[in-house]
Structure formats: C-alpha cells, structure tokens
Amino acid sequence: MRISLKIWRQDGPTDEGRMVDYQLDDVSEDSSFLEMLDLLNEQLIAREEEPVAFDSDCREGICGMCGVVINGQAHGPERTTTCQLHMRSFDDGDEIIIEPWRADPFPVIKDLCVDRSSFDRIIQAGGFISANTGSAPDAHATPVPKEDADRAFMAAECIGCGACVAACPNAAGMLFMGAKVTHLGELPQGQPEREARVLAMTEQHDLEGFGGCTNLGECTRACPKGIPLNVISQLNADYRHAGYGGRG
Amino acid sequence: MTETVNSPDLIDGVYREGAPITDTKAPAGDISGKWTTRKFEAALVNPANRRKLSVIIVGTGLAGASAGATLGEAGYQVKSFCYQDSPRRAHSIAAQGGINAAKNYKGDGDSVHRLFYDTVKGGDYRSRETNVYRLAEVSADIIDQCVAQGVPFAREYGGLLDNRSFGGVQVSRTFYARGQTGQQLLIGAYQALERQIAAGTVEMYARHEMLELVVVDGKARGIIARDMVTGEIETHLADAVVLASGGYGNVFFLSTNAMGCNVTASWRAHRKGAYFGNPCYTQIHPTCIPQTGEHQSKLTLMSESLRNDGRIWVPKNSEDCDKNPREIAEEDRDYYLERIYPGFGNLVPRDIASRQAKNMCDEGRGVGPAVDGVRRGVYLDFGDAIERLGEEAVRSKYGNLFDMYAQITGENPYEVPMRIYPAVHYTMGGLWVDYDLQSSIPGLFVTGEANFSDHGANRLGASALMQGLADGYFVLPNTIRDYLAKGPFTKIAEDDPAVAEARESVEGRVARLMSINGTRTVDSYHKALGKIMWEKCGMERTEEGLREAIEEIRALRADFWTNVRVLGSAEGLNQSLEKAGRVADFLELGELMCIDALHRRESCGGHFRAESQTEDGEALRHDDEYAYVAAWEWGGDDGAPVLHKEDLVYDFIELKQRSYK
C-alpha cells in the first residue's frame, strides 16, 4: 500500500508543534498501525531525520500505553487500541492524519507522546481498597453474587489509555473514573471506602483540569474495551449519595 | 571478550569454571517447616527504625508493585522505578490464563505438596526444592490478598470463586478473571502501590530507566537512572536494591513480550558481580499467531486453552500447503500430535507441542505465508468442535480469542482453521538468588521473572503470576528485613568514588552511543541478533549451531559499536537511544545464553539439545551430569564468563524422566 501521512511533530512540551507530511510506500496491509510507524521511522533514520516519538509497549491491546488520534478519531476508525488497528482498515492511497491525545490534563511530551500521570493521581486519591498485605480473610469468607462480580470485572477492564478523554469535547475523565468507582463499588470489599472514594477521586479529577460530562457518549464510542456509559451514571449516583445522603 | 577467548585453558574455548556455590539461607529440617523457620529466624526491624531504612525497587509488575506496596505499608522508605509512563503498564498485565493456588476449593485432592510436586516435575527437575515448596505454601494467601483488594476473579452462582484446570494439570487450582487475569492482578497491585504513593511511603519514578547499579564496599547501595523525559542522569541511593525488572525474551526480537521489556537492569547488575542463573532456559509457547512478514514487531499469544478443543494438523503432502485447508481431504491431513502422542494428543506439554510444530514446518509442510522462504504455521482447527458443539457454543467459550485472531490476521477462524506457531514467551533464567531472594551481591535482591529460582527448565502454566506475587507480597518483605535489620548502614555521599564511577560509566556510555553516528539502525541490529538466537539458541540447539552463533554475535556486537546510528539528542526523550542501550546489553546476554546452552549437553524443559534425545526423538536429561544450576559470573569485558555450579539436591521428590507417549 501507498500511504500519505500528516504527523504532529513537537520537539518538547514548550515547542509550538507543526504538522509534517510524509510519504510511505510498500506498507503491508497485515502490519499494525504502529508497525507502519516503525517502518516510517526506519526510513527517517536512513535519511538522517529524527524518528517520530510515540508510546507503545505490549502491542496486544492490554497495557494501554499506546494511543493517538487518527483522522480525528481516538485510536482510529476501528473500536480497538492503536496497536491492534491494522493497515487493512485503510485503502491504498489514503491520507492519514496522526495527532497526540488532545486534552489539557495530558500535556504533550514530544511528538505523539503525552503525559497521562493525572490518571495515576486520580487513582492515588482513592481508587483502591485499603487492604494491608497479610491481613486478608480467606477468599471464600465473603461470597459475591456472580452478577456483581461480572459487572465489577466489566468495569475493571479499563486499560487507562485515555481515549475517553481525547474523544470528549470537554476532556472529561469521567468514563475512566466511573469505571474504577463501579469496579470497586460493586464488591463488598469496596463498601467501607465507597463514599470517601468517589468524593476524593472527583475532587482530584477536577483539580487536574478534566472537564465535566455532558452525556455525549463520545467516550464510550472511543473506548477500546467497551466500557459502557452507565459507569458514569453510577459515578454520579455514588457522588450524589456521598455528597447529600451519606457520610460525606 | 577478545584475546582470551581462544586461550587453551578455556573450557570449550569459551568459559572457565569457578568454585561451586550453595544456598546457605534455607533452614534445615523438613521441607514443610522451612519457611516458618526462616520467617522466625529472620531478624525484626522495629517500626520506628523502618522509616530510617530505604529500599529501591526497579520494575512495577506483579513482583515489583506488590513488593513496593508491602514495604511501603511496613514503613520503609521506598523508591519505585519503571520505564513506562505509569506502573499500571508493566507487562504482567498481558498474562491471560490464570494464577495457581493450592486452595483445594474443589476438593479434588490438591494440596501444597501436590502443587510443589507438579511444579518441580513441570520444571523438569531443574529448580530448587526449597524455593518451590515455599511458592506452593504461600500461594493460598495470594488469592486471599487479591480478593481483599477487589480483584474480580470469576465466581460461581453461589458467590464462591471458580477454578479451572490449566496446562494439563489434573486438579482445578487455577483462579482466573476471564482471559485477563494478569491485568486484574496487576491493577490490584498497582492500586495498592498508588495507595502508598499517596500515603508518602513510596516515591514513584515513572519513565525512568535504571542504567547502572551502585556497589559500595561490596554491597548494593543504589542505582543510576535516566529520566527518559529530560534525559537527566540521576543518582539514587538506598540501603538495599530490589530488581523486579522482568524477563529477557526480547533478546529474540520477536516474542510475546512487550516492546520495552529488556535485560538492562539485570545485565548491569550482572556486570557488577551478580551471577546469572541458567540464561539459556527459554520457554517457547506453542500457540502464537504466526509471523506474516519482515514488518512484524511482535508476536501475539493465543490462550493455550484453545488446545482443549482445537485439533492441530498440517497437510500430509507439501504440495497441499498452499491449498484452501477446507479442500484438503481428511485422509490427506496429518494430525501429528494425535499420531505421535496418542495418550495426550493435542494437550502435550508446551515444549513438545512447540518442537513438533517446528519439525513439521522444517519438513516443508508448514502453512500460511512464507517468511524467508519457509512457511511457519500449522493449523489449529475448530471444524470438528463446531460440528460437535455448534458455532454458538464455541463462540461462548472462545469468542474473544477468535475475535482477536480475526482482528490480527483478517481471517475468520469460524470458517478457516486458525494458524499458529511457537514463539518465545518466558525466560526461566535470570539473576541467581538464594532462598532469601538475595543475589550474589549483598543488598541486591531479585524477584519475579528477573530471578532464576522457581520454574526450573520449564514453567508450568499459571505459575508466573503466582511467583511474581508470592515474591512481592510474602517472601521478599520477610527476607529483606533480615538484611535491613543489620542497618542502619553508613550514609553514602553522592561523590563517593563508587557512585562517581557508576555515574561516569553511564554518562560515558550514553555519550558513546550518541557519537558513533554510523549507518545502521538500532532495530536492524536487534532483528539480526534475534534471528541468530531463534535459529541457533531457540527451540532446538546443536553444538555446531551454538558455536556459530557465538561467533556471529561477537561480530555483530563489534559492528554495533562502530556502526550504529542514534539520532537526536541525549537531553530529552530519545527512543532510539533507549533502544540502543538495551540492544547493546542484549548483544552481551545473547552470547552468554549460547555459552550456557553449549555447555549443557542434555535436553531438559525449554532446552532441547539435538545431540541428547531418545530413540523416539524425545528430550533426554542427564541427571548424573547436569542436575545443577549454572550460575555465571561476569568475566570482564576481555575475559570469559566463569561457571559456578549449584548442585540441585532432591530430598523430598524422586527424579523421574518425563514421558508423554
């Protein structure tokens, strides 16, 4: 395949950045999107041009490290991670525009790499169950209804890639946060800290500069793991309960 | 390694033999009481003194994150490092299958002793009894800990945890969270770690890479790391250092490992005096999606559970290999595993399934696209299963795997058979450690896949996650305190000569890589190394091949240091520079792997020496000569490595040859 690329190049966080055109021939339709970028980089190095920086690690759709905006869509045209997008999703001769995640709480480090440590700080605020090592009761001491365990698992599938934020016009992190609140809130172990958790995580979310949710649903449409919009309803319900009716 | 390599006093022309070593930390007595004894005998540290003691942990996978969380919680000052942008990305996250634990929740006869026995046998009797027994012993606590953290394991309708049997084991002891067990366990450990970061007991350094170990007066006292965003070289000092930096399968370039997995932290420690145990033990996984071309950067694993219902075959006649498989008549198909191993059929162990697939392709009966002129794929066919169970039943069992396959290959596995081929998956070798998980450098501890200890020559399915968490949550926190109790240690000044030397060596190395300005890309060297390793130190090794590989790697390494091209600047994010440093270390490790494979003239587990097989072509161990751990000492840039043997003594298990016929 022959592909025309427009790629965002930015030397560092303070650099203004610009779109640069590249031409790539002989792209195999079996290669992944990131392998296409590998090929580009090999050619750039051969021409003594600095390769394009982009993040990736597992390249099998689970670590959440990769992620770019492709032709305006987070992770591109298919509902999957960027590493699991394949060139057969494009046509010979296509032009592809590649940009980093767009959101203030995800500042650009270089080219297509962004800093998503704001997500870690939201987890630090309360996205855990306080269970010290060695103090746990037997795992069978607390039965969990299968439906609850399944819903917790569904929410826990979030890979923290940030596509939901990149896709949201308000750069809301509420699908990410809702997934964690739902995961832990569905389990009996998560109950003691349930109210404190949602209040603290929401406060951190706002402090980081993420916007509010207006129920457009772009986040869930971009989510490679199919986290449903109802985790945001869960987040809002827990927040209301904690804020008005609960201990908070 | 130059002039000395051909000196006449070298064994096989490539190595020397040093004094034997032993583990001195495992207490005497019956195996079932050793861990309790060790925990009791290990000195305690008063809670008020703990905050004066500091520990550096490199790596945030299951072993590193769990250790960081636990040590932070205990009150030590912890500094945690990972090369990814967040500790949540560590490659433990990609493990699919499950985690073993001797809970006997199914009442099917499981026990600590049985898990211990299965693990030693699965490792082909090349692991240390004491370590494996402890692993089995603490396995049950791991499940309790994870459930308390909110890990959403699969449950039955009654609300209790579900188990499955995995990897040919006859009891159901594997806990799982669909095909994403690794992800869920890692997120649990990551959350526990983030909780400690918030509490201020753990300081997290993401996008940081350890490039050197600081050894002062013979003890590990810190690391030199590079901030991958600013390029700054930083010195971090502590009372002890823990490496939880994972495996080195990426020496093969193509593997199921994440792109960033590397050996640098371990290798730098090895060069500073830490012995490297059994480097040649590589686990090859039989069910990966085959390579399609030169563009490929990684291989993707398909869960082994597929072998429960899929039938593996290749055409009987090589002329049929490019035909549509549905048009190849039943009598023209060779269900080779069912033919050769009628008892186990498609469920033979990983090493046998892998080697036979390679044999079929080497015979010219492989299927799928040819890479370098050879078709490297065999069919994993669900035609019979779909006929027997119906497409819906197959979809409900394996749907997500089928979708993943379709996404990657563009083929519909409900209509045409899947194609699979073996790929490098896990490295059982790693830095040598004693029962306390301490390396041959005092104060340097090594956990998880980065150490050599628990899997022997072959890893049992669902055991990697168990070891990572056992080490991090339960073993290391108990053993490292014995070491820390000897503190407080003398404070090290940042301008101490040993610190300055370590720092200068890192700066010099970075400057050297940036200044070569040759013509070849880092990736091209990595791919070339990977080809040598896969062909000559992969599934099957021969004396001749290994000798060739050693020469080829030496030539490649010499070329690398004169002709590699790293563009850009060392100040700031530079992914080519990161890769160059890692590939430079892989080029040294690769040679040691070949030397280790060369000296081990037997077949066992993940090491198949063509010269050592039975008349039926099965792996032949030589317990009389090789029942030892090969612990290699760095011999210097111009010297040969030195082999220290640790004899493996089996007091509680009888050594037996494996047979799957």
Does the bond joining B488 to the residue before it have cis omega, within 30 degrees of 0?
yes
| Residue B178, phi-psi category: left (phi > 0), alpha (psi -120 to 50), beta (remainder) | left
Least CA distance to B178: which residue of chain A?
Answer: A153
Kindly report, residue by residue over A29-75, the tens digit of the pLDDT. 999 999 999 999 999 999 999 999 999 999 999 999 999 999 999 99
Q: Helix or strand or coil: residue A142?
A: coil
Burial of B306 (0-12, 13-18, 19+ CB in 10 A): buried
Contacts of B408 in chain A (CB under 8 A): 32, 84, 86
pLDDT average, residue stretch B552-556: 98
In the predicted structure, residue B248 carries a pLDDT above the cut 70? yes
In the predicted structure, residue A248 carries a pLDDT above the cut 90? no
Contacts of B294 (CB under 8 A, 6+ apart): B371
Say if the Cβ atoms of B156 and A124 lie within 8 Å: no
pLDDT for the residue A246 = 56
Of B90, B160, B295, nearest to A28 by CB-CB distance is: B295
Categorize the per-residue pLDDT at B478 as very low, low, confident or very high, splitting at 50, 70 and 90: very high
- Cα separation, B206 vs B128, whole angstroms: 34
In the predicted structure, residue B4 carries a pLDDT above the cut 80? no
Q: Is A203 on the interface with B (CB under 8 A)?
A: no
In the predicted structure, residue B3 carries a pLDDT above the cut 90? no
In the predicted structure, residue A15 carries a pLDDT above the cut 50? yes
pLDDT average, residue stretch A90-116: 98
Contacts of A62 in chain B (CB under 8 A): 93-94, 180, 183
Please answer whether residues B501 and B215 qualify as being in contact, where contact means their C-beta atoms are separated by less than 8 angstroms: no
Of B148, B183, B572, nearest to A189 by CB-CB distance is: B148
Between A and B, how many residue pairs show a Cβ–Cβ distance under 8 A?
222
Number of Cβ atoms within 10 Å of the Cβ of B51: 12
Contacts of B46 (CB under 8 A, 6+ apart): none
Among B residues 141-180, those touching chain A with beta carbons less than 8 Å apart: 141, 143-150, 152-161, 177-178, 180
pLDDT average, residue stretch A103-114: 98
In the predicted structure, residue B1 carries a pLDDT above the cut 50? no
Least CA distance to B298: which residue of chain A?
Answer: A59
Kindly report, residue by residue over A171-206, the tens digit of the pLDDT. 999 999 999 999 999 999 999 999 999 999 999 999
DSSP string, B232-258: -EEEEE-SEEEE-----GGGGSSSSS-
Least confident of A19-28, B135-144, B306-315, B344-353: B344-353
pLDDT for the residue A245 = 57
Q: Is A110 on the interface with B (CB under 8 A)?
A: yes
Contacts of B194 in chain A (CB under 8 A): 120, 123-124, 127-128
Kindly report, residue by residue over B417-430, the tens digit of the pLDDT. 999 999 999 999 99
In the predicted structure, residue B659 carries a pLDDT above the cut 80? no
pLDDT for the residue B372 = 85
Kindly report, residue by residue over B271-287, the tens digit of the pLDDT. 999 999 999 999 999 99
Of B144, B180, B194, nearest to A137 by CB-CB distance is: B144
pLDDT average, residue stretch B189-201: 98
Say if the Cβ atoms of B89 and A130 lie within 8 Å: no
Q: Are strands B77-81 and B54-58 parallel, antiparallel or unpaired?
A: parallel
Task: Enumerate helices (H) and strands (E) in chain A, giving the number of each.
Answer: 8, 7
pLDDT for the residue B507 = 98
- Cα separation, B336 vs B345, whole angstroms: 8
Please answer whether residues B80 and B193 qualify as being in contact, where contact means their C-beta atoms are separated by less than 8 angstroms: yes
Contacts of B209 (CB under 8 A, 6+ apart): B81, B83, B225, B226, B228, B264, B578, B581
- Length of chain A as a residue count: 248
Contacts of B59 (CB under 8 A, 6+ apart): B81, B82, B90, B243, B244, B245, B246, B265, B448, B450
Q: Is A34 on the interface with B (CB under 8 A)?
A: yes
Categorize the per-residue pLDDT at B344 as very low, low, confident or very high, splitting at 50, 70 and 90: confident
Least CA distance to B567: which residue of chain A?
Answer: A50
Least confident of A115-124, A186-195, B398-407, B490-499: B398-407
Q: Is B403 on the interface with A (CB under 8 A)?
A: no
Looking at every residue in chain B, the average pLDDT score rounds to 95
How many Å from the N-terminal Cα to the C-terminal Cα in chain A?
58
Test mutation, B80, B142, B180, B195, chain A, max A CBs within 10 A = B195
pLDDT for the residue A227 = 98
Chain centre to alpha carbon of residue A13: 20
Strand ranges (E), B176-281: 202-205, 208-216, 219-227, 233-237, 240-243, 276-277
Contacts of B206 in chain A (CB under 8 A): 117, 120
pLDDT for the residue B2 = 44
* Rounded percentage of chain B residues whose pLDDT exceeds 70: 98
Q: Are strands B642-647 and B628-633 parallel, antiparallel or unpaired?
A: antiparallel
Q: Is residue B419 flagged as an active site residue?
A: no
Please answer whether residues B228 and B207 qualify as being in contact, where contact means their C-beta atoms are separated by less than 8 angstroms: yes
Q: Is A14 on the interface with B (CB under 8 A)?
A: no
Kindly report, residue by residue over B460-477, the tens digit of the pLDDT. 889 999 999 999 999 999
Residue of B134, B350, B459, B541 marked active site: B350
Categorize the per-residue pLDDT at B440 as very low, low, confident or very high, splitting at 50, 70 and 90: very high
Please answer whether residues B106 and B162 qualify as being in contact, where contact means their C-beta atoms are separated by less than 8 angstroms: no
Dihedral sign computed on CA atoms, order A136, A137, A138, A139? negative
Kindly report, residue by residue over B531-551, the tens digit of the pLDDT. 999 999 999 999 999 999 999
Q: Is B199 on the interface with A (CB under 8 A)?
A: no
pLDDT average, residue stretch A17-26: 97
- Cα separation, A211 vs B394, whole angstroms: 43
Q: Is B214 on the interface with A (CB under 8 A)?
A: no
Please answer whether residues B263 and B584 qualify as being in contact, where contact means their C-beta atoms are separated by less than 8 angstroms: no
- Cα separation, B372 vs B646, whole angstroms: 41
pTM of the model: 0.97
Sequence letter at residue A72? G
Kindly state the helix (H) or strand (E) to which residue B548 belongs, with its residue range: helix B543-563
